[in-house]
Structure 1
Amino acid sequence: MRQRQLIFCLLFLLAIAAPNAVSNAAAVSEQSSRLWRLAAQEQAMIDKSGVILKNPSLSRYLQTVVERLWNRVPSQLNMPTVKIIADIRIEAHAYPNGVCFLSTGMLDVLENESQLAMILAHEMVHYASQHTAALYNHFQPPSPLSDGRKADGSGSVGGMAMRNAIDAAERQADREGLAIIQAAGYCDKEVLPLMANLVRCMLDQGHPESVPQLNKRAERFNALIGREGEGRTGSASTGTDANIYRDCVAPALITNAEHALRAGDWNRADRSISRYLESEPLNARAYYLKAEILRRQNGSRPDDACIDTYEKSLKIDPTFPLTHRALGELYYKAGRYQMAKPHFEAFLNLAPKDASSAFIKGYLKQCQK
Structure 2
Amino acid sequence: MTSRPLALAAVALVLATGCAAARLPSLADGEPVMEQDERRMWRVAEEAEDDARHNGALDPDPALDRYLGQVLKKLLPARAAGRLRAHVFAVADPRLDAFALADGAIFVSTGLLCRLENEAQLAILLGHELTHALHRHAVVEHRTVKNSAAVSASFGGGLGLGRLGALATVAGYSRELEREADEEGLALAAGAGYDVAEAPRPFEHLLAWMEEEELEEPFLFADHPRLKDRIGNYRRLLATAYAGRKGGEKGQDRYLAAVRELYLRNARLDLAAGRFGPAERGAARYLELRPRSAPALALLGDVAGQRQEKGSEAKAAEHYRKALAIDPACPEAQRGLGLALARAGDKKGARPALRRYLELRPRAEDRAWIEAELAELEGKP
Q: TM-score, normalised by structure 2?
A: 0.80
- CA distance in structure 2 between the aligned counterparts of 1:204 and 1:120, rounded to whole angstroms: 24
Query: Which one of the candidate residues 339, 348, 356 is aligned to 1:338?
Result: 348
Percentage of matched positions with identical amino acids: 28
1:216 matches 2:229: yes
Q: What is the CA–CA distance in structure 2 between the aligned matches of 1:260 and 1:271, rounded to whole Å?
A: 10
Q: Distance in 2 between matches of 1:164 and 1:354?
A: 43
Q: 1:214 to 1:365 in 2, by over 3 A?
A: same
Q: Name the SS of the counterpart of 2:200 in structure 1.
A: helix
CA distance in 1, matches of 2:7, 2:200: 32
1:325 matched residue in structure 2: 335
Q: 1:193 to 1:43 in 2, by over 3 A?
A: closer
Counterpart in the other structure of 2:23: 21
Question: What does 1:87-236 align with in structure 2 at a 5 Å threshold?
Answer: 87-139=93-145, 141=147, 166-209=174-217, 213-230=226-243, 232=244, 234-236=245-247
Structure 1 residue 21: deviation in Å? 1.9
Q: Is the 8 A contact 2:85 2:105 kept in 1?
A: no
Q: Give the secondary structure class of the aligned counterpart of 2:302.
A: helix
- Counterparts of 1:228 and 1:20, CA distance in 2: 27
Q: Counting helix residues as a fraction of each chain, which structure ranks higher?
A: 1
Q: Which residue of the partner structure matches residue 167 of structure 2? A: none
Q: Is 1:362 aligned with 2:375?
A: no
Letter in 2 for 1:326: G
Other-structure match for 2:159: none
1:311 is paired with a residue of what secondary structure?
A: helix
CA–CA distance in structure 2, aligned partners of residues 267 and 301 of structure 1: 17
Asked if the contact 1:20–1:169 (Cα under 8 Å) also holds between the matched residues in 2, the reply is: no
* Worse-matched range after superposition: 24-33 or 80-89: 24-33
Task: Report the residue type matching 2:228 in the other structure.
Answer: N
- Quickly say closer, same or farther: Cα 1:286–1:343, change in 2 above 3 A: same
State the distance in 1 between where 2:214 and 2:5 align: 17
Distance 1:165 1:333, change over 3 A: closer
CA distance in 2, matches of 1:78, 1:301: 55
Judged with a 3 Å threshold, the aligned counterparts in structure 2 of structure 1 residues 19 and 307 are, in CA distance, closer, same or farther, namely farther
Q: Which runs of structure 2 are paired with 1:224-263 in the superposition (5 Å)?
A: 224-230=237-243, 232=244, 234-239=245-250, 241=252, 243-263=253-273
Deviations 1:2-32 (A, max 9, x none): 9999xxx69xx8xxxx987224632111211
Query: Is contact 1:247–1:279 with CA below 8 Å preserved after alignment?
Result: no
- Superposition deviation, residue 137 in structure 1: 3.4
- For residues 126 and 229 of structure 1, the distance between their equivalents in structure 2, rounded to whole angstroms, comes to 22
Does the C-alpha gap of structure 1 residues 4 and 19 become closer, same or farther in structure 2, counting only changes over 3 Å?
A: farther
- Secondary structure (helix, strand or coil) at the match of 2:295 reads helix
* Change over 3 Å in CA distance of 1:72–1:103 after alignment to 2: same
The alignment partner of 1:100 has SS state of strand
Q: Check whether the contact 2:138–2:171 (CA below 8 A) recurs between aligned residues.
A: no
What code does the residue aligned with 2:183 have?
Answer: R
| Whole-angstrom CA distance in 1 between matches of 2:276 and 2:83 | 42
CA distance in 1, matches of 2:171, 2:261: 37
Which residue of structure 1 aligns with residue 285 of structure 2?
275
Letter matched to residue 332 of structure 1: A
Amino acid at match of 2:368: A
Please give the per-residue CA displacement for 1:116-168, whole angstroms capped at 9, x wherever unaligned: 111100011001111112222343659xxxxxxxx9xxxxxxxxxx9997221
Q: Cα distance, 1:352 vs. partner?
A: 3.1
Give unmatched runs, 5+ long, in structure 2.
153-169, 220-224
1:310 paired residue number: 320
Any idea what SS the aligned residue of 2:234 has?
helix
Which segment is superposed worse, 270-279 or 164-173? 164-173
> How many angstroms apart in 2 are the aligned matches of 1:268 and 1:73?
41
Q: Structure 1 pair 333/75, CA: closer, same or farther in 2 (3 Å)?
A: closer
Q: Which runs of 5+ in 1 are unaligned?
A: 143-150, 152-161
- Cα shift readout 1:166-198 (whole Å, capped 9, x = no counterpart): 221111000111111111111111123333222
Q: Which amino acid aligns with 1:88?
A: P
Please tell me the residue identity of whatever aligns with 1:99: A
Q: AA paired with 1:209?
A: E
SS of alignment partner, residue 120 of structure 1: helix
- Shift in Å, 1:348: 2.1
> TM-score normalized by structure 1?
0.82
Q: Verify: 1:351 aligned to 2:357, yes or no.
A: no
Partner SS state of residue 324, structure 1: helix
Q: 1:266 to 1:308 in 2, by over 3 A?
A: same
C-alpha distance in 2, partners of 1:188/1:265? 33
Deviation at 1:54, TM superposition (A): 1.9
Give me the whole-angstrom Cα distance separating, in 1, the residues matched to 2:354 and 2:172.
62
Question: Counterparts of 1:46 and 1:185 in 2: how far apart (Å)?
Answer: 32
